[in-house]
Amino acid sequence: MRQGDKEAAVRRLLDTPHPPVPGDLAARAAARGDRARRRERTLRRTGGALAGIAALAFSLWAAEARPWEPPPAATTPPFAGP
Amino acid sequence: MGKQRTRSERAARAREFEDFVAGAAGRLLHVATLLTAETRIRNPYAQELLAAALAHAYAVRERGHDEDPYALTRDGLALRFARTARRHRTGRGGILGALTPTERLVLVLCLYEGVPEEQAGALLGLPEARVRAVCARAVARMRSRTGKGAAA
């Protein structure tokens, strides 16, 4: 028996009548999909808002602290006197 | 005016989805039941898998992807099953109960759904040669099982 015939035999074996589908499947799936999409959108918006707030806070702090400037010398060189 | 249109658009899309489910759910539920190796009458896991895959397909379509919804749902079903395959190692009285989850996936995708081996391999993360080998092994196991069943 060729491989093709064997595959056809198994295919016939799989081709049984379809199981009965619950009637509210479409409505349940649509509601679930809507919920998932809304949750995703909320998460994305929250994340975006948080990122914006973080960027704003960083620029305010940087403008205030100016971390790129060398700090003022904290010590003075030893002075032996004239 | 704009709001009116989006509302009618949404209603049209919901109707489209309902039509799609009415047309395709029987076959998809059969696929899911073959995968989980449940029976035609009692298939809670298959129904759960199908509901999750349909919900995802619905959400993706709402986002405006224009893929074939049947292929989208079927691939989602296969991937979801592959992720939870450990739960379905032992069959629950279905036809493919004697096979491993991977063998079931390959058999159903390649033979029943007629997905090309290359595409099935890409979906499952297997090389094409391995898909072919698993398919041949699954066919041989099914044949030996039914052969024994017929002889007994």
pLDDT tens, chain A, 82 aa long: 677 888 888 888 888 889 999 988 999 999 999 999 999 999 999 999 999 999 999 999 999 999 998 887 777 777 777 7
Q: How many domains does chain B have?
A: 1
A42: closest CA of chain B, how far (Å)? 14
Does the structure show a pLDDT above 50 at B152? no
In three state form, how does the secondary structure of chain B look?
CHHHHHHHHHHHHHHHHHHHHHHHHHHHHHHHHHHHCCCCCCCHHHHHHHHHHHHHHHHHHHCCCCCCHHHHHHHHHHHHHHHCHHHHCCCCCCCCCCCCHHHHHHHHHHHHCCCCHHHHHHHHCCCHHHHHHHHHHHHHHHHHHHHHHHHC
How far apart are alpha carbons B94 and A14 in whole angstroms?
10
**Boundaries of domain holding B49:** 2-151
Q: What angle do CA B139, B140, B141 make, to 5 degrees?
A: 90
Distance CA B117, CA B123 (A): 10
Determine the residue type at A20.
Answer: P
Q: How many CB atoms lie within 10 A of CB B143?
A: 16
Model confidence at B148, pLDDT cuts 50, 70, 90, reads low
pTM above 0.90, yes or no: no
User: Exposed (0-12), middle (13-18) or buried (19+): which is B46, by Cβ within 10 Å?
Assistant: buried
A42: tokens are: 């909320």
What is the distance between the alpha carbons of residues B54 and A26, in angstroms, rounded to a whole number? Answer: 8
pLDDT at B151 exceeding the cut of 90: no
Residues of B in contact with A5 (CB under 8 A): none
B4-29 pLDDT, tens digit each: 668 888 888 888 889 999 999 999 99
Task: Enumerate chain A positions whose Cβ falls within 8 A of a Cβ in B.
Answer: 3, 6-7, 9-11, 13-19, 21-22, 25-30, 32-34, 36-37, 40
Contact (CB<8Å) B112/A11: yes
Task: Report ipTM (2 d.p.).
Answer: 0.75
Q: What gap in Å lies between CA B50 and CA B30, rounded to an integer?
A: 10
The CATH number of residue B123's host domain is 1.20.140.160
Phi and psi at B97, nearest 5°, equal -60, -25
Distance (Å, whole) CA A72 – CA B41: 81
Cβ within 8 Å, pair B58-A30: yes
Residues in CB range of A32: below 8 A, 6 or more apart:
B51, B52, B55, B58
Phi, psi of B91 (to 5 degrees): -70, 165
What is the pLDDT, as a whole number, of residue B80?
94
CB contact under 8 A, A19 and B46: yes
**What mean pLDDT, rounded, does chain B reach?**
86
